[in-house]
Amino acid sequence: METLGDQPVVVAHGRQMKNFVPLGTFLRRNPNLAAIHTAIAETVSSSTGLASITPKNKRVIRTEPIQMTDGRMHAVHVWCGPTDDEPPERPIPGPLKWDLTSGESWATVEFLTNAGMDPAHEPLTGRAFVEDIPSRSLNQDESKALSLTIDAAPDRTYSATWDFADKIGGFRRVGWCARTLMEPNEDGTEHLVARSMNLLETVSESPLATVNLADRIVDGLAQPGAYRVIVDLNTWTLLKWIDEPCPYFDWRARVQMHPEDHARLSARMTEEFSEGSTSAVLRLPATDGGFVPLHVTVSKVELEDGVTAGLVTLRQPTEDELATVGRASAEQQAD
């Protein structure tokens, strides 16, 4: 039961995702509906699980809280059955928080585990959005998730199941749900936040589904030494790597490019980009400090009707390209 809205809603039944179904609709005429509502409210209030006996049917309601590391309750796991039965082993949801205003995310160990990441080698705080979305594989629901990030507004919900290859060598099917909310930040301002959960459905040593057309297109367009990523054109936040993450620069850094390059190239690139695509050699944050020059091409891509993102391709520049940039910088300094 997701509990971030006005009323608790069903987002998963066992390991099967549900699309924010009101509890009354899901249970229909279940005589324990009122008691389950009460158990959920008490669990949210106390942040602890409980077991309560229904007054008429002599059934037990068991709950477990699903809480983000900042203390906010995302959901309550509910099981109701005979008093002499034990609930089945429950799948553990993983909470996640995206601050869409600041461009940071916070994960939990459970979220990383469900997504096939090693919590021992992944940061829990100060994460980049692009770290939370699987690279390589394309899913028909991912464009909607990315669109909600770009065209963000409060009181929106998202639910889907994704198949993808994880970082530890397996294939998995993971359910996702998210809700956007306005929340106060530490500095007193209001931030737009997406609070999410994931739920592991299936893990396999072989692909769970046949490779679709989008995957074949991605593989066919891949070029050795080039790395593609989808970005939010409003903020230049990296959203999803189409190839493996680029190793040539620090893509987690907050600084996007060298300030001199921004001043020298922003006007020209903006004009060219209005016609479809643009490219230049830019100095981006290096992994060991300072800046590293990379050839960057930016093209427009429509995720959904009316929502446009940028497809950025990065590669190491040629000697001629570096020489051209050096001459342009020298001319600018002379002026």
Question: What is the set of domains in the chain, with CATH numbers?
Answer: 9-82 (3.30.450.20), 92-209 (3.30.450.20), 222-335 (3.30.450.20)
The predicted pLDDT at position 334 comes to 44
pLDDT confidence band for 138 (50 / 70 / 90): low
The fraction of the chain above a pLDDT of 70, given in percent, is 90
Contact 235, 254 (CB under 8 A): no
Q: How many CB atoms are located within 10 Å of the residue 31 CB?
A: 11
The predicted pLDDT at position 159 comes to 94
The predicted pLDDT at position 289 comes to 85
What is the pLDDT averaged over residues 259-286? 80
Mean pLDDT of the chain: 87
Helix orientation angle between 319-334 and 259-273, rounded to the nearest 10 degrees: 110
Q: How many CB atoms are located within 10 Å of the residue 199 CB?
A: 24
Condensed to tens digits (0 to 9), the pLDDT of residues 69-128 reads: 999 999 999 999 998 898 999 999 999 999 999 888 999 999 999 999 999 999 999 898
Condensed to tens digits (0 to 9), the pLDDT of residues 206-262 reads: 666 544 544 555 555 678 899 999 998 888 889 999 888 999 999 988 767 888 887
CA-to-CA distance for 183 and 175, rounded, in angstroms? 25
Among 131-145, 158-172, 222-236, the range scoring the smallest mean pLDDT is 131-145
Among 160-164, 226-230, 317-321, the range scoring the smallest mean pLDDT is 160-164
The predicted pLDDT at position 50 comes to 95
Which residue stretches of 191-253 are H helix?
A: 213-221
